[in-house]
Chain A
Amino acid sequence: MDAPNNSNYAIDVQNLTVGYGSTILMKDLNFSVNNGEIFVILGGSGCGKSSLLKNLFGLYQPLSGDVLIEGQNITASQGAARQKIMTSFGVMYQEGALFGSMNLLDNVTLFMQEYTNLSQAQMDLLARCKLDLVGLLPYESYMPSEISGGMQKRAAIARAMALDPKILFLDEPSAGLDPITSADLDRTILDLSKNLGITFVIVSHELASIYAIADKVIMLDKQAKGIIAEGDPKVLRDTSTDPRVHQFFNRIMSKDVA
């Protein structure tokens, strides 16, 4: 949109190999995420979606390959340069990972306190805006343990958005949410993507949500150790000839596949 970006992509993944030690989960992945796109990573349980995500935002070091975030190579960067890349995106973890000793408002303002010069009142207002976006404004003084799991997830999204990052990584945001809250969350994601140009990288299983929001999906497979399908989810559902892709999008039980 405006930041100097010598790459056209929000995220560019080049020959990425994901794994632990000698165990390789994904081999030679190549894909890119456009600016402002809602990009969804799909795949069966245990195929390495969350591991891939953690490699993308630099929590784990990939076995080989590079991840470029807004043109900056996060894999090769260190120190202050790496920290600068780290503040350009927000992350929501699968379990929420809210700080248990702080209430929701403090959870959201924590990173603002570290990275901005705003006054406490300004940070509180900004944090309330974020909590309002995920529908948690009345719960600002609750501790994470006092709210439900779905609310914790939404609070974690609010915290990830605290510094208005250009990119948001969400690990299974709508899993465990009721259909109405889930639809509200989809609406919020679409609004943020369209109006603020935020890029979303989402790991999700919720087909309804995927059809509603995803611009592009990639589907990972455990046996193939790579991407087996890429594109618009509706198109993949209707036209893919790959039995694994067909099975996933049409919710066919594994024993029914010949």
Chain B
Amino acid sequence: MPMNPDSSTGNPSIAKWEQSDSETAKVVITGKVDVYSLADVWTRIRAQQDTWLKTSGKHNLIFDASAISSFDGAGIAFLIDLEKMQQAAGGTFSIVGLDPRYQPLLKEFDPISNLFPAPVVKPHRSFVVSTGMAAQNLMDDVRGLVSFTGHLAADLYWSLRNPNQVRWGDFVNAAVQAGIAALPIVGLVAFLIGVILSFQAAIGMQQFGAVSFVGPLAALGIVREMGPLITAILLAGRSSAAFAAEIGTMTVNSEVDALVTGGLSPIRFLVVPRVLAGILVAPILTLYADIVSVIASMLTMLIYGIPFVNFYNGMLSAVSVEDVCSGLIKATLFGVVISAMGCLRGMQTGDGAAAVGISATRAVVSSIVMIVLVDGIFAFISYKTGF
């Protein structure tokens, strides 16, 4: 409910609609006129005016302001509204008794027709046009992605050639924020996945008396797929959004423009350190997630009477070093696309605070789409090559 800060003070305005004959009406207002006291008065008087204006004949409205104790901008807007309605219906409007000091303010709004612009009609878009525009937007997005990838590849290569030009301070900050700060949440989710995976598998395998195979199965699934995937999705949610928000705010504040006019490449300056941090952090976090998850799996299998030694030996027979490496290489690629998408969406930020939020959202969504894409390509390659 809207509060009325002035309800307790002053004498609120009272308006009376007086009609001497069918052609002349008078609005008499007394007391204090302000934006709070006016609300009901305004609606009521205007309703009476509308009813009256619908009758035939002449319409002369007189506004009697002689009993007003104070008046403000809202009162002036009320006068203008009454006058506009009179004009529209071909009637007359006159003001009597208004303190002359309010006259200059009334004059400010002359002619009042400016205050009543024609309602804006939104142009109707046909289905064909909308589809075309959507296709165009998609094309622009793909073009932006391709050009960004090219720039990033060139600048990464340049950074390899000139390692002392890389902003290592930014790299360390990004690596700490994306890596060390992510350890608790990655550990938590990895532990949960380890428990769930082996528990669910054990329930099924128990019926066939094959509980001893759960350990190797879970461990293989963890190092090849689940470890890299959960780490990547958590990184996308944490760091991709963070990069997009940070660079997005810099874009809104023209800081990115300042880099460009200062002759610095924003990609070299902002994106390269973050992508390098992603490359470093993603495989390390994945390895950590693998270990936590396997330990969780071991603990779960203990419930089913599988001792650690048996689990360990079973795991060694099923999981090779290549499997772990395959997962870590995939994680590195995830790290690249997550950081890069976060930075790209940040640099594509529009104007205003809302745009930063949109960029952060787009960064997370795009990162996850890219993770799925990379994972699919990787699965295809390893199926074909047997790696």
Please report A residues at the B interface, Cβ cutoff 8 Å: 1-4, 80, 83-84, 87-88, 100-101, 112, 114-119, 122, 125-126, 128-130, 132-133, 137, 140-141, 143-146, 161, 163-164, 191-192, 194-196
B108 x A132 contact (CB < 8 A): yes
Q: Residues of B contacting A101 with CB < 8 Å?
A: 352-354
- Report Cα–Cα, A209/B206, bound state, in Å: 87
- Report Cα–Cα, A196/B9, bound state, in Å: 18
B115 x A130 contact (CB < 8 A): no
Given A3-B10, A84-B5, check contact A164 B114 (CB 8 Å).
Answer: no
The reply to whether the CB of B74 lies closer than 8 angstroms to some CB of chain A is yes
Q: Residues of B contacting A80 with CB < 8 Å?
A: 3
Select which of B32, B35, B105, B352 is within 8 A of A116 by beta carbon: B35
Q: Residues of A contacting B351 with CB < 8 Å?
A: 100, 143, 145-146
Q: Residues of B contacting A114 with CB < 8 Å?
A: 2
A191 x B104 contact (CB < 8 A): yes
B5 x A88 contact (CB < 8 A): yes
- Report Cα–Cα, A164/B101, bound state, in Å: 16
- Report Cα–Cα, A97/B3, bound state, in Å: 24
Please report B residues at the A interface, Cβ cutoff 8 Å: 2-5, 9-10, 32, 34-36, 38-40, 42-43, 69-74, 76-77, 80-81, 101-102, 104-105, 108-109, 114-117, 120, 350-355
Most chain B Cβ neighbours within 10 Å, of A2, A80, A83, A122:
A122
Q: Residues of A contacting B74 with CB < 8 Å?
A: 126, 164
Select which of B2, B4, B101, B355 is within 8 A of A195 by beta carbon: B101
Q: Residues of B contacting A122 with CB < 8 Å?
A: 39, 42-43, 77, 81
B354 x A196 contact (CB < 8 A): no
Q: Residues of A contacting B10 with CB < 8 Å?
A: 2-4
Given A122-B81, A191-B108, A195-B104, check contact A2 B73 (CB 8 Å).
Answer: no
Most chain A Cβ neighbours within 10 Å, of B36, B69, B70, B74:
B74
B9 x A115 contact (CB < 8 A): no
Q: Residues of A contacting B104 with CB < 8 Å?
A: 191, 195
Q: Residues of B contacting A87 with CB < 8 Å?
A: 5
- Report Cα–Cα, A242/B72, bound state, in Å: 41
Smallest CB gap from B350: residue in A? A145
Smallest CB gap from B99: residue in A? A195
CB-defined A-B contacts under 8 Å, sample of 28:
A2-B32, A84-B5, A88-B5, A100-B354, A100-B355, A114-B2, A115-B2, A116-B2, A116-B36, A117-B2, A117-B39, A118-B42, A122-B42, A125-B115, A125-B116, A126-B77, A129-B109, A132-B114, A133-B108, A145-B352, A146-B351, A161-B73, A164-B35, A164-B74, A195-B102, A196-B71, A196-B72, A196-B73
